[in-house]
Amino acid sequence: MAHSWSECLEFCDRKSKLCIDLERDSKSVEHYYARCVAVATDYNLNPPHPNDFGGNVLSCIKRLCSKTWWRKAIKTMRSSVMENTARDLRLVSKNSGAYASNIGVNNRAREILQNRYILENTFATNQHGQTFSLQELSDKSISNPEIRKAELMTRLNGFETVAKSYRHRAEFYTVTTPSRMHAVLSNGQPNPKFDGTTPKEANTYLAHIFKLIRSKLAREEIRVYGFRVSEPHHDGTPHWHYLLYMHPSDRKTVRKIFRHYSLKDNPDEAGARTHRFKFVEIDESKGSATGYIAKYISKNIGGEDLETDLYGEDAAYDADRAGAWSSIHGIRQFQQIGGPPVGVWRELRRMKCPKGSGLEEAWIAADSADWAAYVMVTGGPTLPRADRNISLYHEHRTAINPQTGEIPRSHFSRYGDLKKPPLRGLIVKATGEKVISRTLNWKIENFSPSIGIHSGHGPPRAGPHCALPLDSCQ
């Protein structure tokens, strides 16, 4: 029986209260935690573990007693279960709706609408009296799809420029999963070999394969750099594309390693050696290396520069479906491989660098949006990140009130565990020089009317199938 979201909220409230009540006859903190965990695992939820919070059992208990924790966990599970059930019923395929189910896509569109309304009506004010809506701030960050795509293309083109200067060669690889992980065949018929693997589990499998590949490349002292794109087959099963640059003499070895690990699972099944791993040796005289992966970037962000996808559908429409697929299953679509960290690049672009600073060369490159120059002045494309001279600076908040001997409450989360040290700027490792880039203190002012499904004019109203109502926070 399907339940409305309002019924799910009532369920979450009951379970959080149940966990609170379990304290009465618990014999110890550990016993109390174990009983709360049992409540969560009864519904196939992953309870918080003390190891993730510095060994703080009490913070885990507080989470399990929180309406907010339950609502977030149930929302995530509900979305995933609904989508995986739709996929099992062949409602995710090129015949019924590629990449994600129509229900999942519509729910994601509603969620985006609701989130935008929240951001437009929540304001941040700094110590200088400047006030912006969170939507205005979001539109200026990589949360904006246009900015995200532009940055990805800048980094792709930069890597290609660097590769040319080193005379490195580009290779384009595609790694797919075994057939047992596909729910629907390419002809739209159910796959008799399908074993129930979810897209998230299939993506974890591909991540494990790449982990093995990277370890083998490291043992062979082969360093590659480039990008990886995760995208769905028509039935939602992911596959990974790689654009990698390497020394020309390493190409055959890298291909061999990729092929070996791609065929670790059921290598003798029909078509495995043909489809599980494919490679293209890119001939730059016939086209840009970046062009081989740019279409996959466009396909997953906005659909611009493409008229139709592989199945003849509108590219912009399918980009929305691919975005829904990524969100529902929690799959990271793009990943940089090798090269300097993009976090440092982004921090350089938002700061004013003092003259004579050890950051000056890198800042000039970043401020000019020149990824190639940034790569070169920070150590080249293959230098391990741990050996790079510039890194993010996080302020460690260990200050104790000298009068009370206590750490300020602001250093703790609502659940009682220490917050992560805040990012303040950049540090030059060789000299210890710190450049602070984050000097503004923001105060959030919430405006939170109830919202949900709506049509017509005015703010959305609470509805029976609301994906994430504004009043869902405790």
- Residues marked active site are found at 292, 296
d(CA 238, CA 245): 23
d(CA 355, CA 261): 49
What stretches of 286-331 show up as alpha helix (H) in DSSP?
Answer: 289-300, 315-329
d(CA 360, CA 352): 10
106: its two tokens: 């519509």
Give the number of other CB atoms < 10 A from CB of residue 275. Answer: 16
Please, what is the Cα angle at 282 between 276 and 287, to 5 degrees?
A: 130
232: its two tokens: 């769905």
d(CA 433, CA 115): 39
3-state helix, strand, coil split of the chain in percent (to 5) is 45, 15, 40
Using N-to-C axis directions, what is the helix angle for 5-21 and 29-41, rounded to 10°?
160
Pairing of strands 423-428, 238-246: unpaired
Amino acid at 211: K
